[in-house]
Amino acid sequence: MNDCDKLFNGAEDSVRKLGSCFDTLADERKTKMHVVGSIFGFGASLTKLAFTATGCAIKNAPKAVVAVAAVKRDIINSIEEEIRESDKRQREDALEERIRQLSLKV
């Protein structure tokens, strides 16, 4: 089971426990112990979801860092290429202008 499935299952379980908690609160025949147990079950489900999410974030942090670095490197390379092309065009334009000026003098 991959990390996303674990997170979705945990979230689904938490929502199910929350619904059960509301059902228990609305049912007048339930005792206070049932209500407390239902609330405790929901809290435990949220805690489990938080631990799963934290573990997933820690586990995948290196992958995210590498991906961000790769994107950053691509952006920097693209910007550097654009700067080189712009400098080259400026030098060519300056050279053409100089040639035009020299041809007018002759």
Q: Provide the token pair at 2.
A: 């991959």
Mean pLDDT of 14-21: 80
Alpha carbon distance 46, 11 (integer Å): 8
Residue 14 pLDDT greater than 70, yes or no: yes
Q: What is the mean pLDDT of the chain?
A: 83
Residue 1 has a pLDDT of 63
Percentage of residues in the chain having pLDDT higher than 70: 94
**Alpha-carbon distance 101 to 63, whole Å?**
57
Residue-by-residue DSSP string for the chain: --HHHHHHHHHHHHHHHHHHHHHHHH-TTS-HHHHHHHHHHHHHHHHHHHHHHHHHHHHHHHHHHHHHHHHHHHHHHHHHHHHHHHHHHHHHHHHHHHHHHHHHH-
**Alpha carbon distance 24, 34 (integer Å):** 7
Q: Look up the pTM and report it.
A: 0.52
Confidence of residue 106 (pLDDT cuts 50, 70, 90): low
Q: Does 7 have pLDDT greater than 80?
A: no
Q: pLDDT-derived band of residue 33, with 50, 70 and 90 as boundaries?
A: confident
